[in-house]
Structure formats: structure tokens, C-alpha cells
Structure 1
Amino acid sequence: MSEQERTDARTGETERLAEVIRIIDRKLLKEMSVQGERRGDVVGIRQEFWDDLAINFSDETELGETWSSIVQQAELLAERERSHRVASEAAERLAHQHDNPYFARIDFAEKAAASNDAGEGAAGETAEPEVIYIGRASLVGDDGETFYIYDWRAPVSSLFYDHEPGPASYETPGGEIAGELTLKRQFVIRGGRLRHMFDTDETIGDDILQAVLSEKSDTAMKSIVATIQKEQNRIIRDERHRLIVVQGAAGSGKTSAALQRVAYLLYRYRDSLTAEQIVLFSPNPVFKGYISRVLPDLGEANMRQMTFRELIEARLGRRFDAEDLFAQTEDLAATEGTREGDARARAVRYKGSEHFFETVAAYLDRLKREGVVFRQLRFKGDTIVSADEMSRQFYGEYGEDSFGDRLAKLRRWLNGRLTAWVDDQLQEPWVEQAAELLEEEDIQRAYVSVRRKGGFHEGAFDDEDKMTELLLRQAAENAIGPLRRAVKGFRFMDAPETYRQLFVSRSLFAACAPDGRLPEGWDWMAQRVEDKLGRKELDHEDATPLLYLMEALEGFRKVEGEVKHLFVDEAQDYSPFQAAYLRRRFPRARMTVLGDFNQAIYAQAEDSGGFGGWTRLAEPSDTAVWRLTTSYRSTKPIVELSKRILKPEDAEGIRPFNREGEEPRLIRCRDRAHLAELAAADVTALLAAGHATIGVIAKTAQEAGDACSLLKEQLGEDVPVTLVSGGSANLPKGVSVLPSYLSKGIEFDAVLVWDGSAERYGQERHRKLLYTVSTRALHVLHIYYTGELSPYLT
């Protein structure tokens, strides 16, 4: 393209942008007007709701008319509220579009499928190119047919991500559309003004990508719809496979692609899929906050987010002091190299293994015949139903039924026994005393019950007796309310004790093990389970097996059956046991799991063999495994250094995007005080240079706390320094000090690694941890050390 042609093209695009901005402004004014009108309607209806009603309860006819009037007013209010919400969402979307309406243009000439009756348009010929502009959201003219902008998730938009100019095609629900891509153009539009324009032959032009990647970081992840790469687009739009496994290098856009996939699915299946039916497992609360803005920026509601810790807490937190993964990691680090620490590490690895999952599964099969431990129902020291009675009913009376049917019958039987016990207690003095203390609401309820049955009218002679009996029964039922709730929640089964029984008998464990053998260190594990459960404590490595056993005994009645899509980020940190458990908890969900086995830093996943625990969850024909090898996050020098930390075979295939930057610095310090002094000076310089987010990453939480204190002493009150803990939900601007395991998935303009010495990162198991913290940096990486430098950095 000549300079004159380029000038003419830019002039044409500028004029076209101005036209689109005018259309957006006109629509925005209209939506804001509707929004204002509906807001007034809603306020007015709420204020006058009862004034407009003719309330009359004198007889059944008047009561019906009154109720009908209330319903009509409520429906009118709900309709106006919905209309106001729709107008508000439209106005917000248009306001975003005014700033940046689109980011790409493609000209596509569709190939004719067949000749028409007049003999024109023979098969294979191409029509005139259609000009298509692509943005975060569509923009349609007032006629409802003219598309000024296509949503990036529309089928035709995939041409932009998947093809360069030339022959091209895209998939639609009706089949493949083929043709010729004659132009591919990218824009940078800010504040409604055209800043840059590029024509490109590449999937996504390096000029645009360089510009985006060179921007400063933020405390929240951004959308990448303007820079989605071809390999990411395949992941985003994959609708065929039930299980998608993504292995991606650090900074390769795994999480970004996953979030765009959520947005795509909500768009593609908007009539049958809601955000509530999508669940994302995040590695920690900090990461949850970090990614929380991406979907709202794309006009979609956030999917449900949770951490595995929250799942455990929801079911076991009230019964046990349950250790989390971070506390387990800190304990292993504190006892590293000791006899106790080595035994604990063996137990952690084993209890996350497929061998142990198969052992527990076999134990569950055995429990269908014998072995479930029941918990007796007692009231004030008296046994209402003993554990032996429950066992006889379960394995004897109902022994021929399925496990689930037996459980349902046992629950009904227990409720019957509780009702019979209440009948026997009605004449007991404690019931009469309890009835005298009933709340007025209970008394009113008893009166209404008698009145409904024809009581308290002329000719009735035993109403007082009925009322007394009802109050006595209500008092007794109130007293055994906790027992009723325990029966409803299946707490008559003692899942923790049933789990403990597996570790009581060596022969029982061996009989359930798939190879008939006990794991190394079994005696230590057995004693540990005994001690911990006895103190109502729960090691993290026991939490998932206990949860699985508990929910399997209850028939997985509390599974998330309505969830249609499950996303698991940092999947390499999940043990095979946890992967198998999630498959059973979300039985109908399609799964997308993402991770990097070079960042597998937790002991529970050390023996998982990469993603083996995940890929075996579905048939090969239903599974897609994608690899993302280009690292976009960090500059080329930072990626090259981080690759040297890994073993050569693990680093093979990781490619840095060609973005230059300053070389990482390895800084030797005399001692910790000197380290803090140098780091504080660098923080001051980096902030002055415009770096908005600086991460000071220490190995453990204790080291992070020490580093934070030392930096605050050096920097004073002028520079805010925030210690990020496991309970933190948001990443602050400025300087964040955090332990290594909380940095996963997050990025900073500059990363200062606090003590990368051989003492802290000298063992083989520290190699991936050092790689993980080093790859958090976008632009600047400083690694300080005392003594000898880590051997993985030399």
C-alpha cells in the first residue's frame, strides 16, 4: 500500500468511526431517556403501591379481588424494574463502546454454494466482499438488520482470529461458510479517537500485540479479545469435547483464554446457559479478586468462583479445624529435612494419589455390605435409637435394597422412631415445663391448627384438650429439633469415624488397596489420623478423601448437578484424588482445566505425572489436549532467564514473544538488612519510573512478613507496602509483599524476589517454585540473595 493509499484509508476509517460514534451517542441518549422514565415509574409505583389498592378482607370474594389487585401491581412493578435494568445495561454497554467501539475490520467475500435460477452465481464464485467490523459487543442499526459492529464471539468473527488474507472459512450452526478474506485491519481506538491502524497478514499483528503487552500492569486482569491468538481461539470456541486440558507456559494466556471461553459460552448458549451454571475453581482468594473484572467488562455476569478450600470449609469447617493447602505448605517447609517432615510429605503425596482413591473406592464398595459407623440418637443422656439398631435396619431389614434406597428408608424409619418417642414423652414433666415457655408464635400456630379442624366453635367440647396436646407436642418437637435436622442431613452416619476405621486395621486397608499392599509409612499415617481426628483437627491431605467418603455415603445428594461447565485453573496443583472427586461432584459438567506442570509447587501433586489425573477423567474421543508455548507476559530476557531455571526437557518448546526489555538482575547482599536496603532503593526507583504494581515475593508467609516489616522501616510512611495473606481478596496498587504460593496466576510490572539463595531455593523440589515466582514479572525482574546464589540461577 502506497503512502497516499494509506492516508486515504486512514481518512476513510476516521470518517467511518465518527459515524459509528454518532450512532452510539444517539442510542445512548435514547437508552438513558428510557432508563430515567423507568426509574421514575419504579419509584412512583413503589410509593403508591398500597394507595392504588382497594383492600377488602370481608369475605372470600373480596379477598380474591384484593389478592388479584396486589398481584397485578407487583407484576407491573417487576416489568418496570426489568425494563429499567435492561436500559441500564444497554446504556453501560454503549458508554463502553463510545470509548472503544471496535478493534478490527475484515473484508470477506463469501463463495457461492450453488447457482440460482437465473444461472448467476455459479458454485465456487465469490460475491462482493462484505465489510465486517469486530468489537467487544455488537451494534445494530435502528432497522434491526444493519450490523455496524459484530460481537467478537459471533461465528464470522473467528475469521479474524484464525486466518490471514486469502482462502478462509468459518463454522456456523448451519455448516461451514467458505470464501476469500481480502483485508485484515486492526485498530487502536481510545476515547473515541483512532490512534493507530495496521493492515496485517498475521493472525494478530505484532505491532498491536507489542503495544498491548508494553502497557503497565493493573490490579485486575484485562480482557484480551483484541489480541486473542489462533491457538487460544481454538480453546475458546471448542464445543465438541467434554474435557479440555490446556498445558501452557507461564504467561501464555491460559487464564485469559479460559475467561474469554466463559464469555463465548454465555453468548453462544444465551438461551440455555446462565453464569450460575458455570463454576471456576481459583487457586486462592487473591486470584479470585484479580480476575473478577474481566467478564463484566465484556458485558457478562461473573460465573461462580470458589477455591477448593471454600468447598472443604462449607462441608467440614463446622466440625473440624481443617488445615488449608497454604498451612500444609508452610508446615512442610518448616519441618523440611526432619524425620517428621519426611513422613508427612510421604503421607501428603500418597493421599493425593490415584492408588489411594482406588483404595477408598474399594472401601466404599465394601461398606455396602458392612462397616458403616452409625451415630446413636440421644436426648439428655437417654438413647432414643442406638447405633446397633440402625446397623441392623440398614444391613438387615433393608439389606437387599440399593445403598441409596436403604439410606432413604433408614431416614424415614428414624423419623418414625422420633415421632413415637415424642408420643411417649407427652406426659413427662419436662414437656409440660417446656410448653409453659413456648413463644407466643407457637401458641398462635396451635390455635390456628385447631380452628382449621373445626375447633373453637359452638358445640365443640374438647378444644382445650386438643390445644394442650398440640402445645405439648410442639414443645417436645422443639426440643428434638437438632435430632430431626441431624437425620435430615444424614448425620446419623459417622463419616469421620468410618474413615478412621480404614486406618485401624492393616488387613482391611490391604484388602481395599488395588495391589493388596500398604503404602510406605502406613503406620505413621494411621497414628496421625487417629491423633488428628481425636482432637477434631483435619490435615489437608485427609480433607478430600473424607469429603468424598461422606458424600458417597450420602449418595452425592448435594452434588452440583445443575452446573454445566467446570473450569479449574492452576490444575497442576490438584492431586489426582482431587481431580477424580471433582468429576464426581460435578457429574454433568463439561470440564476445562488449565495449568503448567512447570509450576507444580505443592507436595500433593508431585507424583501426579503432569495432567495424568485429569486426562483419565474422560474418554480419549471426548478429550482435547492443547499446548500454549508462547510466553506473552514477560519480556524476552525474563523468559530466557526463567527457562534456564527449568530442566532442559521441561523448558523445551517455551518460546518468548519478541518483546525486548532490560536484563534481569541478580543482586548479591551481605545480609538481610542489606537486602532490605537495596530492595527499598529499587522500589523507590521503580515507582518513580511509573511501574504501578511491584511484587516482592518471598518463599514462605513468615519470610513475607519479615520482608514487609523491613521494607516499611526503610521506606517510611510515604510508600504504602501491603502484606498479602491467604485471606486477602484484592491485590492493592503499589507494593505488595506475598509468599510464593499466593503469586500464582498474578502478574506485576516489576518483581523483586526476596532471597533467591541456595539456602532458600537449593533443592530440586524448589526449582519449579523459583520458576513460578520469576515468571510473575512483566517488565522488570530483580533477584536478591545472601550467601550462595541458587544453583538454578547460576
Structure 2
Amino acid sequence: METERAHLAAARAALRAMREDAEALDTSDVATDWVNAAILRSDIDARIRALADLSDTPLFFGRLDYLDHRTHTGTEDESADGTSFHIGRRHVHDAEGDPMVVDWRAPVSQPFYRASAKDPQNVALRRRFGYAGGRITAYEDEHLSDPGEAARSSRLLQEEIEKPRVGPMRDIVATIQPEQDEIVRSGIEGTVCVQGAPGTGKTAVGLHRVAYLLYTHRERLARTGTLVVGPNASFLHYIEQVLPALGELEVRQATVDELVAHVPVRGTDSPAAARLKGDARMATVLRRAVRAGVTPPAEACVVVRGSRRWRVPGYELAELVEELLSRDIRYGAAREALPQRIAHAVLTRMEQAGEAPDDRVQDAVARNAAVKAVVKTAWPAVDPAKLVLRLLSDPEFLATQAEGVLDADEQRLLLWEKPARGVKSARWSAADAVLVDEAADLVSRTASLGHVVVDEAQDLSPMQYRAVGRRCSTGSATVLGDIAQGTTPWATASWREALHHLGKPEAVVEELTQGFRVPREVIAYASRLLPAIAPGLREATSVRESAGDFAVRTVPDGVLTDAVVHACRETLERREGSVGLIAAESRLPELAHALDAAGIPVLAPGEETSEQRRLTLVPATLAKGLEYDYVVLDEPDAIVAAEAEAPDGAGPRTGLRHLYVALTRAVSGLTILHSQPLPEPLRDTGAES
């Protein structure tokens, strides 16, 4: 133990030295100009930040001893140079450049996650470390080369998985399982879709895949960029510390709404209207609308240069316009090409007349007033927001563009009740902004990133998938989600369909069904809902040895709120870690008032928990993607009924899906309190009290 503690201390000292070396770099005489100097300084500052030592975070969590050139004796420090590696969150080397800690993403680290007694992968010993406050407190060895040692579960691994959580999401580099590691280390060229049941670590897998790709393709991704797309700001706040803890500071995070923020969103749609605006057919309507103003010229174009006049007849201009229309290129690119095409026609006539014009003459002709006039009339400029505004407020224009695509009832559903006077005064909805983004891409290509991760993807509409897909059209993606947790009116029913809209039909779909965070009894109870909400999915299982705390309590009508407050206080007093009180939206004001009267401080979703403030009041509609050590669930019937009573597009299945999400937010324990009857699949449980 003391040998390992000494190695940890030496590694921390080496990391400090690496940071000090970076801080001491003098760039004053290196860069040739101020621009290069600024870029170099920025790179060095990023390097310094990445070398920060988090004192409460283990610098290494494991060790591998390889068989080659080594005689294993079972002692903790006997290994030949170069055959023993400490595995950690980042690389650390000593003054001579020899590794003291190997990055978990390096090839030599892979057997830490993949090796087993059946397939030792040349590993003699795998050691896991236990920590408390950044100090090594225990270690545990697996002698993979010893055929006589039976396979057994790791106590330290179980403790790390079940450790209470306070604050934002942590990385899982110490607990990545073989099936997760295969996804994490999949190549950058391919898109991967992960269907993951609650607690299977799909979000962590996606984030760690980004970290792995940045390690293996850093130069490429530094040039093309990476992006994590989450469902809401609370979720992004919850996960925002994972990548920085792994030393990756340059990954952008955003919601879909932030990606398509071309217009100010101040309005809302009915679920039916939002579902229609998210339908992939809208892409066809928009494509027609963007090109609706193109008019092949009937009149000739006459270009005057010096004493000569050059005439391009109307039929030839019309042919140029029709040829550009027939090509699958962006509207804006075609508009830029048209004056050059006209200029080329003029230059052809000049050459036929014996002149020898060059490229400068062609550019000058393309800028000629007569040519500009033809382009302005035949191929007018398109403002994406104004185009969508017209589409949603002009019945005749919409009818023309939607003919054969949307029926009359659907067209009426799309139209605003009051036509907006202009882009700034329009009450744009979130779905409208996605339409504007589609129109903008039809005019000018959206820049593509190298890799995009999209989490909770089952809730995206086809048009939102297209918006995300545009951001990785020349790159790859990691798609994360759970069909059973789809709670929007347009939630996807098939990953193949979703991947088609994303523009990645060739993506590999992986399914994670082994849970690591949700207790066995809790996931088994929640899985009773699967036949009703997602009949095609396999039931999730849990590898956790502890069943977890689980109780279902029937409370007399009229005292439910008092019972919920008592359960929250009891959980806070008896248990460590975060506590989430999840309830239907309609119940929140009463619960918040009661908790305040009881002197129990409450956080909103996304606010960071602390030792003094550990209870978060969560509406069931915002619980997705969040995790709490203990959950108190208020009145399941109210959660289901809220969706059953909602107009246009929601219903009992959506309510049951919200309930499934709420049930699976617990890491260590779940208490359900109800006065109304439970949904049919959840009745008759031995946990009832």
C-alpha cells in the first residue's frame, strides 16, 4: 500500500512539474506576428488548464502488470521496467519522459477494461484502487494469468458504482465495462447509435467516446470541432464537468434550440402543430418555397463594353436558369454561379468576334449592371426567416408549396392565427426556428463538425434530426437514447428511421441492457411498463449486488403532501447523497409550499447540490437524463393523468413513459407515495406498505 501511495505522490509531483514547465514557456521570440503569438498563447493556456490536478480526484485508478519479460511473484512492487502501467485519467511523465500514469485511452490501457480470466490479453495482474478524498485507502488484485483463480466480482468496482453522488455527473473511467468500452473505442469514421435502458451508462459512454476520439484524432478534431447536444440546459449543466475532468476543455455543448437560434423564440405551438412542423415532409415544402421565386428570363441581356454591345437572348438565359435548377446545389451557390454563367456566354461571343478576353474580363462582365439586373429578377435573394414567415402566414403561398404534400387540414394547422408584420414582431416557436434552420441550409450549406454526440435523441423530431445531421454531414456522430423514454408527441419509434433523418442510415445500432446505477428491484419494477410503452425492447437487468431501498406506500387521501414531506425529511436525515422529489407539474406549487413551511431547502433541476442543500424538486417532464441517489416519487397517477388530459398529441402512453423515466432516476433507493390507484402494470407489488 505504501509503495502505491508513494507512486501517487510522485505522480502528482510530476504533474505539477509538467504544469510548471508549460507555465514557464516564453513565446515572446517564437511567433512571427501578433496573430500567431495569440494563437500560440491560447494553445499554451489550454495546455496549462488541462494539466490541472484535482486533489479530490484519483490521478490513477488501476494498474496493469503484463506477462512479457516479467516474473510475477504476487508482491505489489515487483515488476520489470516497462511492464507495469498505472492507468489514470491523463498521461503523466517524469523528468526523463518515462510514463508514471498512462492515459486510460491509450492502447496499452485497453486490457484494463477488456481482459478477463478467459481472455487475459497478456495481463498477469489487474489492480483496482479505492480512494477517499484523493488518498488511496485500498487495492484489489485480479490474477488473470492464474487458471486456478475463479472469476469473482470486484468489491471496489461495486463500491465505486454505488457511491453516493453530490453535485454534477462524474466520469466513469474507473468503472467502464467491456461492452461500454467497445462503443467508447469505436472508430471515428462510423456513426454509432446506442439504445440504452436507464442506468446502463449511455450518456457516460457518449461523453467518453468524445474524449477517446479527441485523444486518438486530436489534430483532426481540433480542426473540425466537436459538439455535445443535450435536451435542455439543466441536463447540460449536469454533465458539463465530465469532459473537463478528463482534460478535454474545448468541446462545445448546446441544445437543439441553441443550434437553430436564428430567430427569437417567444411563441409556443400546440402538440399537433409542433408534430406537423417536425415532420420530414416539411423539408420538401421548404425546398419548393426556397426555389419558388426563380423565374426564367424572357428578355435578352445586353452587356455594353466600350463601343460594343453583347446580347444574350432570353431563351439562352432561361436555359442557364433551368440547368442550375436541375442541379442539386444550394440556392445561394447557384445564385452566385448564374452571373458567371451569363458572363461566360458573353465571353464566348467575344471570342467568336476575334477578341481574346481573360478571367478579369469575365469577372467584370459578371458584375455588370445588366447582368446583376437579370440575376435579381430571375434568381432573387432569399432570406430564410422571411421565407418561413411568408410560408406560415400566407395561405396561398403555403397551398402552392404544400400541394400534394400536406392536405388542407394540415395547411390550416400550420398557419398562424394572425399574420405577423415582420420577422422581428413574429412570435416564433421552437419548431419554427428549426424550419428557419432548414431554409438557411437550403440557401447556404451549414458548416459540418468532425463529431457530434446527441443525447436523449429519442425525443427529436425528424426535422430536428435533420438539423443535427447538418452539423455532422461530413463527420460522424454518437446517437444516445432510449425508445421507452420518448415523451414528445413526435418521439421516434425506430432508430433506423431516426438515423435516416439524421443522414446516417449506415450507422451501427448497439443495445445496452445491463444497468450499473439503477438498483435491481427498481429497474425490475419500472420494466413492468415496457410492454405498454415499448413492446419491442428487451427488459433491462442490473449487475448491482445490492437490491437498493425500495418501497411503495399507500397514503390516505388528503394527507399525501404531508407524507411526502416526511419521506423527504427522513431520507435526508438517514441517507447520504442527492435526493430528488419528482412529481407532476400540477403538484409542484403545493409541494414547494409544504417543504418551505417545513424548513427544508429545495433546489431547482440543474442547480448543484451541496452537503447543506441536497433535495431537488423535479417536475416529471424534466427528470429525463438526471440522476439522484434517492428518489421520492409523488402520486404516479397524477404524472400519467397530466399527459392523458393534455390536448393534441399526448396521451396515456406518453404519461406512462414520463412515469418510467421518473421511476428510473434512483441510484440507491426509491420511495413511491400515492393515494390514487397505481397504473395497472405496477399494482400488486410486495413492496406495498
TM-score range, shorter chain: 0.7 to 0.9
Residue 788 of structure 1: aligned partner: 677
- Cα offset, 1:235, TM superposition: 1.1
Q: 2:531 aligns with which of 637, 640, 647?
A: 647
- Report the Cα distance in structure 2 between the residues aligned to 1:130 and 1:549, rounded to whole angstroms: 57
Whether the aligned pair in 2 keeps the contact of 1:316 and 1:322 (CA below 8 Å) is no
Residue 50 (structure 2) pairs with residue 105 (structure 1): no
Partner of 1:181: 123
Partner of 1:196, secondary structure, is strand
Return closer, same or farther for 1:746/1:366 CA change in 2, 3 Å cut-off: same
**Structure 1 residues 208 and 302: alpha-carbon distance in aligned structure 2, compared to 1, 3 A threshold:** farther
| SS state at 2:127 partner | strand
Superposition pairs for residues 720-759 of structure 1, below 5 Å?
720-724=601-605, 730=608, 733-757=613-637, 759=641
CA contact (8 A) 1:186 1:208 kept: yes
Shift of 1:779: 1.4
Secondary structure at the residue paired with 2:582? strand
Query: Partner amino acid for 1:703?
Result: R
Deviates more, 1:302-311 or 1:579-588: 579-588
Match for 1:255 among 203, 209, 218? 203
Note closer, same or farther for the CA distance 1:77–1:509 as it changes in structure 2 (3 Å cut).
closer
SS at match of 1:208: helix
SS across alignment from 1:300? coil
In the alignment, structure 1 segments of 5+ residues that lack a partner are 1-13, 46-67, 112-126, 170-179, 329-343, 371-393, 413-487
SS in 1 for 2:220: coil
1:722 maps to a residue whose letter is L
**Paired residues of 2:469 and 2:503 also in contact (CA < 8 A):** no
Query: For residues 197 and 748 of structure 1, what CA distance do their matches in structure 2 show?
Result: 28
Q: Is the 8 A contact 2:473 2:503 kept in 1?
A: no
| C-alpha distance 27-348 of structure 1, shift in aligned 2 (>3 A) | closer
Q: In the alignment, which residue of structure 1 is the partner of 2:140?
A: 197
| Secondary structure of the structure 2 residue equivalent to 1:538 | coil
Deviates more, 1:72-81 or 1:351-360: 72-81
- Quote the Cα distance in structure 2 between the aligned partners of 1:670 and 1:411: 78
Q: Name the SS of the counterpart of 2:179 in structure 1.
A: helix
1:480-499 aligned at under 5 Å gives the runs 491=383, 494-499=386-391
**1:744 deviation in Å?**
1.2
Structure 2: state its 5+ residue gaps: 70-79, 145-149, 297-316, 326-330, 341-379, 645-651, 684-689
TM-score (norm: length of structure 2): 0.75
Give how far 1:637 is off.
1.1
- State the 1:522 CA deviation: 1.9
- Give, in whole Å, the separation in 2 of the partners of 1:731 and 1:33: 33
Q: Give the counterpart letter for 2:544 in structure 1.
A: N
Contact 1:353–1:577 (8 Å) recurs in 2 = yes
Secondary structure at 1:749 match in 2: strand
1:502-651 matches, cutoff 5 A: 504=396, 508=400, 511-513=403-405, 518=407, 521-522=409-410, 524-528=412-416, 536-552=426-442, 554-556=443-445, 559-561=446-448, 563-605=449-491, 608-610=493-495, 612-615=497-500, 617-618=502-503, 622-647=506-531, 649-650=535-536
Task: Give the equivalent residue in structure 2 for 1:348.
Answer: 274
8 Å Cα contact 2:465/2:501 also seen in 1: no
Structure-2 change in CA distance of 1:651 and 1:218 (3 Å): farther
Task: Give the C-alpha shift of residue 275 in structure 1.
Answer: 9.2
1:291 aligns with 2:239: yes
User: How far apart are residue 151 of structure 1 and its match?
Assistant: 0.9
Please say if residues 504 and 526 of structure 1, whose CA atoms lie closer than 8 Å, have aligned partners that are also in contact. no
Matches within 5 A, 1:461-480: none
Query: How do 1:12-411 residues align onto structure 2 when only pairs under 5 Å count?
Result: 14-24=1-11, 26-27=13-14, 30=17, 86=47, 89-90=50-51, 92-93=52-53, 96=55, 100-109=58-67, 130-144=83-97, 146-165=98-117, 167=119, 180-190=122-132, 191-199=134-142, 205-239=153-187, 241-274=189-222, 277-312=225-260, 314-317=261-264, 321-323=266-268, 344-361=270-287, 364=290, 401=324, 403-405=331-333, 407-408=335-336
Residues 208/744 of structure 1: CA separation in 2 closer, same or farther (3 Å cut): same
- Give the Å deviation of 1:165: 3.6
Q: Deviations over 1:84-118 (max 9, x none)?
A: 7755653x23x65x96332222233469xxxxxxx
Secondary structure (helix, strand or coil) at the match of 2:60 reads: coil
1:175 corresponds to:
none
Hey, what does 2:560 align to over in structure 1? 675
Shift of 1:735: 1.3
SS at match of 1:321: coil
Query: 1:685 pairs with 570, 576, 594, which one?
Result: 570
3-state SS of the aligned residue for 2:59?
coil
1:705 and 1:723 in contact (8 A); partners too = no
Alpha-carbon distance, 1:593 to partner: 0.7
- Tell me the matched-pair count: 591
Judge conservation of contact 1:165–1:181 (CA < 8 Å) in 2: no
CA distance in 2, matches of 1:228, 1:347: 42
User: Per-residue CA shift, 1:587-635, capped at 9, x if unaligned?
Assistant: 22211110000100111226x4355222564565x42111110111211
Cα displacement (A) at 1:780 = 1.8
RMSD: 4.1
Q: Cα distance, 1:642 vs. partner?
A: 0.7
Partner SS state of residue 110, structure 2: helix
Residues 659, 704 of structure 1: CA spacing in aligned structure 2 closer, same or farther, 3 A cutoff?
farther
3-state SS of paired residue (1:281): strand
Counterpart amino acid of residue 437 in structure 2? L
Q: Is the Cα–Cα contact under 8 Å of residues 352 and 605 in structure 1 kept in the other structure?
A: no
- Opposite residue 580 of structure 1, the aligned amino acid is R
Secondary structure in 2 aligned to 1:273?
helix
* Alpha-carbon distance, 1:751 to partner: 1.2
Q: 1 CA distance for matches of 2:435 and 2:151? A: 46
1:360 & 1:303 partners in 2: Cα distance? 32
Partner SS state of residue 236, structure 2:
helix
SS of residue in 2 equivalent to 1:691? coil
Once the two structures are superposed, residues 134-156 of structure 1 have per-residue CA deviations (whole angstroms, 9 ceiling, x without a partner) of 11122323322x33322100012
Check whether the contact 2:197–2:515 (CA below 8 A) recurs between aligned residues: yes
Deviation (angstroms), 1:315? 0.4
- Structure 2 Cα separation of the partners of residues 260 and 504 of structure 1: 50
Given the superposition, is the C-alpha separation of residues 576 and 490 from structure 1 closer, same or farther in structure 2, using an over 3 Å criterion? Answer: closer
- Given that residues 243 and 618 in structure 1 are in contact (C-alpha distance below 8 angstroms), is that contact kept between their aligned partners in structure 2? no
Give how far 1:506 is off: 7.9
Judge which range, 778-787 or 521-530, deviates more: 521-530
Q: Distance in 2 between matches of 1:586 and 1:286?
A: 24
* Residues in 2 aligned to 1:233 and 1:680: alpha-carbon distance in whole angstroms: 41
TM-score normalised to structure 1 length: 0.66
When structure 1 is superposed on structure 2, of 638-647 and 246-255 the one drifting more is 638-647
Q: Is the 8 A contact 2:277 2:414 kept in 1?
A: no
How far, CA to CA, are the matches of 1:529 and 1:141 in structure 2? Answer: 69
Equivalent residue number for residue 666 of structure 1: 552
